Structure formats: C-alpha cells, structure tokens
Amino acid sequence: MTVHQPITRQPDGTYEGPAVEAPGAEVAPIGPGGRHPLLVRSIVLIATVIVLTGVSLSIGAGEVGPSDAFDYLFGRNGARDDAHLRLVVHDLRLPRTLTALLAGAALGTAGCLLQTVTRNPLAETGLLGVNAGASLGVVLGITLLGVQTGFGYLVWAFAGAAVAGGLVLLISGQRGGGSPMRLVLAGAALSATFGGITNVLIVNSAEAYDSFRFWVLGSLAGIQGFESLGSLAPVLAVGFVLALFVSRPLSALVLGDDLARGLGHRPSTTRVLVALSVTLLTASAVALVGPISFLGLLAGFLARTLVGPRIVAQILFAALIGAAVLTAADIAARVVSRPFEAPVSVIVALIGAPLLIGVVRSQRLGAMGLTDDPATAESAARTDHVSLARRISARLPRRWHDRPEHVVVRRGGLSLLLPTRSVLTTIVLGGALVAAVVLSVYAGQSEMGLARTFRAVFGTGDHFDVLLVQDFRLGRIIAGVAAGAALGVAGCLTQTLARNRLATPELLGVNDGATAAVLLSVTFSASGTFGAWWSGPIGAVVAVLVVTTVAGGLGQRGYRVLVVGLALSALASAITQVVLSRRSLNSSSALYVWTSGSLNGRGYDVAVPVLIGLAVLVPLALVLGRRLDVLRFDDSTASSLGVDPARIRMVCLIAAVCLAGLAVGICGPVGFIALAAPVIAGRLAGPLRVPILASMLVGAILIVLADTLGRIALDGTEIPVGVVSTVLGGPFLLWVLLGRSSATRA
C-alpha cells in the first residue's frame, strides 16, 4: 500500500512534502550542493551587467573616454564642473544606459512570466498583442496628429500597448475563461488584427511609413535626459512589484490548477495579475526602445536553462539576462557602424539567435523537458484512436447520420470509395470558387454587368469584353487562385503532420526565407520593385534546410526545430527591416507593400509556373492522403498498417515547403490563409479524410475574395490582399478557437 504524504505550508511561506515534478520541469538538487552553482551563476551574471554598464557609460559620441566618464560619475578632479562632460555623461549616456538596463530587465521579466503561466518555453512578449498595439498607437499618432518627437512616440506607443493588453484580458476572460490557451489565442488574434490595421494606415501614407520603418527597428539613440524614463518609471516599478508578488502563486500554478487551489491560490486571479504585469512591463519597454520582442523569449529561455524550476530565481535571472543583452546590443549598435548607429533589434537577433540555438543543441534540452516523451505521445495517440469514432459522430450534423458515409464509384473492373460529405463539399467549393472569380472580375468592371462578365470569363460574348477581362483582370485573379490553392494545401499538410491546428509553414522559417530571397533578387531586378518569382521557393527550401540541419535533422522531434526556426526567423525578419530602411522611400514603400502580401502587378507569367507546381504536388498529396489519415494516429499504428512515418513526413514536408514558397513568390507572405483554409475545410468536409482538395479550394476562394475586397474597399486606393486577410483573420481565429464549440478543444 502506498502512503501519500500531504504537502504542508510552513510559517516561513515555503511548502514541505514529497517532491512533485511539474511537467517538463527540471528537478534541481536541494541543499548546499545544489545552491552553490546557482550562487556562482548569479555572481557572474551580476558582474557581467556591471561591466556592461561601465562600458556603456564609456563608449559613445563626444570623445569622452572611460576615465573622464568615471571622474564625472564619482565627482573626481572637478569633472562635474565641466559642461561638456555633464552634457555627454549626465544628459546622454547615463539616461541611455539606465533605459537599456530597465527596458531589458522588463522584457526579460515579462518573457519569463509568460513562458511560465502559459507553460510554453517559446512564449514571447508580443504574445499579448502589446507590440502590435504599440505599433498601431505610433502609426495613429503619426497619421492623425503628425507626431514626430520621441516623447510623442512614447505616449502613443504606451497608450496603444495598454489598450491592447486590456482587450486581451477582457476577451480571454469571457465565458469563464482565463486559461493559458485562451490568453495566447486572444493575444495572437488581436495582434493580427492590430497589425493589419497598422498596415492599412501605412500603405496609404508614405509619410507615416517613412517614420514607422525606423521606429520599428528599435533604438535608444533618441534617449536624451531623464524625461522619458522618469515618466514611465512608476509604471515599470508597478510591473516589477507585481512580478515578484505573483512569483509564489505562480510556483504553485506550475504544478496544476487543482493543486494550486488546494494550496490556497486562485489560478484565474494569478493569470490576470501575470498578464497585467506583462502588459505594464512590455508596454513601457516598447514605448522607450521600440518593439524588440525576441529578447523576452531569449531571456526567459536562458533563465530556465540556468536555474531550473525555481520561479523566483527564473524571474531574477531573466531580468538580469534581458538587461545584459539589451545593454550589450546598444553598445554594439554604437560601435559596428560608426559614425552611424545600427538597429538594436538586429543586434539583439545576432546575439540571441546563436545563444538560443546553442542551448537547444546542448544536452540540457532533454533535462529541461523540451523533447517529446514517446510514451506520452503514444498514450495520447491511443486515446485519440479509441475516441475517434465518437468524435466523428459528434461533429457530423444530425441530418448526416441517416446518410451513407461513402459512395462507391465503379467503372468496369475498377472501383473507388469516396466519402459522401467530402465529395459534396468539394463540388460546392468548386462552384463557390467560380462565383468568387466572376465576382472579382465584375467588381473591377462593374459597368459591364454580371451576365456580360460571366460570358467574358469563359471567352464568349463581345470581343472587347473578352479582351478586357482576360488580358487585364483575369491574369491577376488566376495568380491569386494559384497562390491561395498552394497556401491551402501547404497549411493542410503542415497541420496534419504537426497534429496542431495552429501549425503553419511559417514555423520552419518558410515565409521569412522566401521573403528574404525575393528581396535579395530585387537587387538584380530591372524594375527594382519585384524580384523573380522562382526565388520564393528557393528561399523557402534553403530556410528549411538551414533550420533542420542546425536543429539536427528532419527527424528531430520536440521543441528543437521550432526554437531554431523562431531564432532564424527573428534574425531574417530583422535583416529584412534593415534592408527596407536603407532603400529610397519609393522603392521601400513598394517592397513593404509586397512584404505585406500583394497581387498588384502579378499575372499569367507567375501564375502558370505555380499552376504547374500544383499539378504535380497536389496529386502527390492526394496519393499520400490515405497514409496521412493513418498518420493522424501514433507511429506504431501507422507502421503496423505498412506506412513508413518518417518517409511520409519528409515527402509531405517537402511538398508543403515548395507550395508555400511558390505562393510567397507570387504574392508575398500572405497571413492566415495557410492557417484558416484547413480549419474551414475540415469543418465543411468532416473528419473522415484529410481535406486536401477542400483546403486547396478554400485557400483559393479566400485569396480571391480578400483581393476583391482590397480593391473596392477604399475608393482610389488598393489595400494589399495580405493586409485584408490579416485584419479579417484575427476575428476568425477568435471565432474558431475561442467559441463555445471549441472551448474544450482549445
């Protein structure tokens, strides 16, 4: 008989009882032997921050060296009577250094809190929509009031960030919410919507984009005096105090909601306080130095690596790591491109990406619980296998229960078994795609009338109508159909392989790699605005090869591939922003529109190669469809049925990467199509088959409708298709993943 010892709370606030290991947590040794390495690491980290602070005060403009700077700081040799030293050290370097330390500590603390409360080591400070809200606030300030000062940016950035954080808390708390998944999904949806609105404002105002493209890179160059830091110091103080206040209940929450309640804590209240602390810290940091989101992920991840599951120690270490990294990045920004300054976000990515990759490549990854437990995975898969029939029956509408689930098609000695619902859905979606194409043509040429437009699409009717429609309008629409179809199939394959409705090819750096390749090809383009379409798939394949090689191969499971993909994506994204900031305003504006996702200027010349790719890859995906159905169970079941899981995953991944790269080559990194199309297709076609054809048709319909709406929404101004899909994608994500029917699944 097993005797369970209770966990008791001691007078000093600690808990005593049997060791309980949180899922994925490393159990650190207790006692002098376990605390000694932690003390050494603390001393080393504090010393590093002190040294970096001294270096930051000693380097910069003004020809003031270390000795003069320290003479002024310590009041030696009458240095404080020197007006030049006072200007350089007191008014410029000291406020800048303190801002870097506090902003870095704020981002590190926020990242650590988010990773703990969501139980996701990949969570970062942009997760609650704070960065997107700050960006929207700055753009609104520029466009509405013509704000051009650093303090003006600070006020509008903080206001936008605070509003975004408040909305996320409000949305995630509806219907008894407050779970980590609802918090994450609400933040992701709001970030998408705010980001889309920001892009709408930017693409219609060259002045707003010219100011925004430099602010978004992040910089401490505008910090002069203590005015900005002083105005946000109380907000930062409240954020830090809240972080320390929730550290103890957060330690209990890691063990599970039930155990936390048993220890006297309230999980929902703890999550709200954490979200409030993260909002205050991130909003202040973004307002001061710009949106540097990768730093929160890096600091929290490294802190967990160094100290294990101790929450208080994680928070303190994350703050020190964030302060050290941002200060080091600011120092490097002043040195690497003198007399100019490099963007801080790029330096942070250059410093952080190798560190993060080094951590996930180390032997400590398994100890941190960041790899999949095969036994757990098989157990979960077996549970899915047992309950599959029940879930299929529950998800089918009542009127389908009395209908045959399959239709047998026979011709001669051949027969084909087709799922009834999937076939009907495909037919309906095909008709809807034709209707969407006709509507798109009609929206551009409304004076022709709907009947004349329909005849012109199919090459009949008046010769002038046919020429106008097929030569000047239909090429762009066909390009959109091809891109949407490619994204739909790529998203379906990725979500099936990952067994996750939120998985898209972007996680492997496909979008960033393809975008960087197309922007690179602009250098060799005669027009200087669009690169070659074929550079998209090449860049996507290269990005995936780099990610999987660094991560240890395609067969590597767990978080390693995702961490490497996020690190390299952050680096590629930062470099892309730098490329845009260094080009002329006209060229940069045109390229920015493309990087938001646009079909402007695209036609048959790029649509035909992608259609050829679809003609090859879609049948391949359909052939693999039956094996993909089996792959939705565990690997042992698939192997027993004669399916090689590793080979199927590799072929499907290659197909998804190529399709996503082709789509980016056409219209840029259009957001949410690869995410939304498989979800909608699965709802329509049912769970009996992997909805490859339905996802292809839904993706094409979404692109065509988004492009049509972007062309007619504003008179005389075109909104890029990627912006439209992003603005509408946020509410869609909330509806699909936070509604009544999906509350338990989320």
* Helix pair 604-623, 692-712: axis angle to 10 deg: 150
| pLDDT > 90 fraction of the chain, expressed in percent and rounded | 8
117, pLDDT greater than 70: yes
Give pLDDT, residue 711: 84
Distance of alpha carbon 214 from alpha carbon 458, whole angstroms:
48
| Mean pLDDT, range 559-582, rounded to an integer | 73
Give pLDDT, residue 101: 94
Most confident range (mean pLDDT) of 320-334, 353-367, 629-643 is 320-334
* Helix pair 294-307, 311-335: axis angle to 10 deg: 130
- For the stretch 427-472, pLDDT in tens is 899 999 988 988 888 886 556 777 777 777 777 777 777 777 777 7
Strand pairing of 406-411 and 15-16?
unpaired
* Average pLDDT of the residues of the chain: 75
Give pLDDT, residue 276: 87
Give pLDDT, residue 432: 92
Give pLDDT, residue 221: 77
Structure-block tokens of residue 115 = 């990773």
CA 224 from chain centre, in angstroms, equals 33
Distance of alpha carbon 357 from alpha carbon 352, whole angstroms:
8
425, pLDDT greater than 50: yes
541-552: b (≥16 Cβ within 10 Å) or e = bbbbebbbebbe
pLDDT band for position 644 (cuts 50, 70, 90): confident
Token pair 């909330």: residue:
734
Structure-block tokens of residue 316 = 């303190």
Burial class (CB within 10 angstroms; exposed 0-12, middle 13-18, buried 19+) of 327: buried
Contacts of 254 (CB under 8 A, 6+ apart): 22, 25, 116, 119, 309, 311
Distance of alpha carbon 181 from alpha carbon 389, whole angstroms:
26
Contact (CB, 8 A) for 668 and 591? no
Q: Which of 314, 296, 382 is nearest to 123 (CA)?
A: 296
Give pLDDT, residue 375: 39
Token pair 């991130």: residue:
282
Give pLDDT, residue 404: 58
Distance of alpha carbon 124 from alpha carbon 115, whole angstroms:
7
| pLDDT > 70 fraction of the chain, expressed in percent and rounded | 77
Most confident range (mean pLDDT) of 297-311, 494-508, 592-606 is 297-311
Give pLDDT, residue 701: 93
pLDDT band for position 560 (cuts 50, 70, 90): low
Domains in the chain, start-ordered, CATH in brackets? 59-93 (no CATH), 106-371 (1.10.3470.10), 480-733 (1.10.3470.10)
Distance of alpha carbon 710 from alpha carbon 418, whole angstroms:
38
**Is the alpha carbon torsion for 317, 321, 324, 326 positive or negative?**
negative
Strand pairing of 15-16 and 8-9?
antiparallel
pTM of the complete model: 0.73
Strand pairing of 406-411 and 414-419?
antiparallel
Q: Return the higher-pLDDT residue of 281 and 597.
A: 281
DSSP H/E element including 687: none
Say how many C-beta atoms besides its own lie within 10 A of residue 484's C-beta: 33
| Mean pLDDT, range 734-739, rounded to an integer | 63
Give me the residues paired with residue 316 across strands: none
3-state secondary structure 493-535: HHHHHHCCCCCCHHHHCHHHHHHHHHHHHHCCCCCCCCCCCCH
Give me the residues paired with residue 414 across strands: 411
DSSP H/E element including 410: strand 406-411
Give pLDDT, residue 322: 93
pLDDT band for position 103 (cuts 50, 70, 90): very high
Give pLDDT, residue 401: 47
**How many C-alpha atoms does 669 have within 13 Å on its Cβ side?**
25
To 5 degrees, how large is the angle CA 432–CA 437–CA 441? 145
Q: Return the higher-pLDDT residue of 734 and 367.
A: 734
Give me the amino acid identity at 425. T
Distance of alpha carbon 695 from alpha carbon 691, whole angstroms:
6
Give me the amino acid identity at 299. A
Contact (CB, 8 A) for 592 and 213? yes
Q: Which of 192, 163, 187, 164 is nearest to 177 (CA)?
A: 187
N-terminal to C-terminal alpha carbon distance within the chain: 38
SS3 for 16? strand
558, pLDDT greater than 50: no
Report how far apart, in Å, the C-alpha atoms of 355 and of each of 106, 346, 443 are: 20, 14, 51
> Which of 126-135, 559-568, 684-693, 733-742 is predicted least confidently?
733-742
Distance of alpha carbon 309 from alpha carbon 27, whole angstroms:
7
Contact (CB, 8 A) for 629 and 690? yes
592, pLDDT greater than 70: yes
> Which of 247-256, 303-312, 409-418, 669-678 is predicted least confidently?
409-418
| Mean pLDDT, range 1-17, rounded to an integer | 45
Contact (CB, 8 A) for 669 and 483? no
313, pLDDT greater than 80: yes
152-174: b (≥16 Cβ within 10 Å) or e = ebbbbbbbbbbbbbbbbbebbbe
Contact (CB, 8 A) for 500 and 679? no
SS3 for 490? helix
pLDDT band for position 26 (cuts 50, 70, 90): very low
| Mean pLDDT, range 586-606, rounded to an integer | 77
25, pLDDT greater than 70: no
Structure-block tokens of residue 597 = 């996702």
Distance of alpha carbon 564 from alpha carbon 550, whole angstroms:
7
Give pLDDT, residue 2: 40
67, pLDDT greater than 50: yes
To 5 degrees, how large is the angle CA 672–CA 676–CA 678? 135
Distance of alpha carbon 96 from alpha carbon 58, whole angstroms:
12
Structure-block tokens of residue 180 = 């980590």
Distance of alpha carbon 110 from alpha carbon 124, whole angstroms:
8
pLDDT band for position 52 (cuts 50, 70, 90): very high
Q: Which of 651, 362, 657 is nearest to 509 (CA)?
A: 657
Give pLDDT, residue 197: 86
SS3 for 78? coil
Token pair 């159909």: residue:
481
DSSP H/E element including 241: helix 227-245
Alpha carbon dihedral 29, 30, 33, 34, in 10-degree steps, equals 50
Q: What are phi and psi of 509, to 5 degrees?
A: 80, 15
Give pLDDT, residue 321: 94
Length of the chain: 746
- For the stretch 271-287, pLDDT in tens is 888 888 888 888 888 88
Q: Which of 708, 663, 682, 724 is nearest to 485 (CA)?
A: 663
Q: Return the higher-pLDDT residue of 290 and 627.
A: 290
Q: Which of 521, 523, 491 is nearest to 657 (CA)?
A: 491
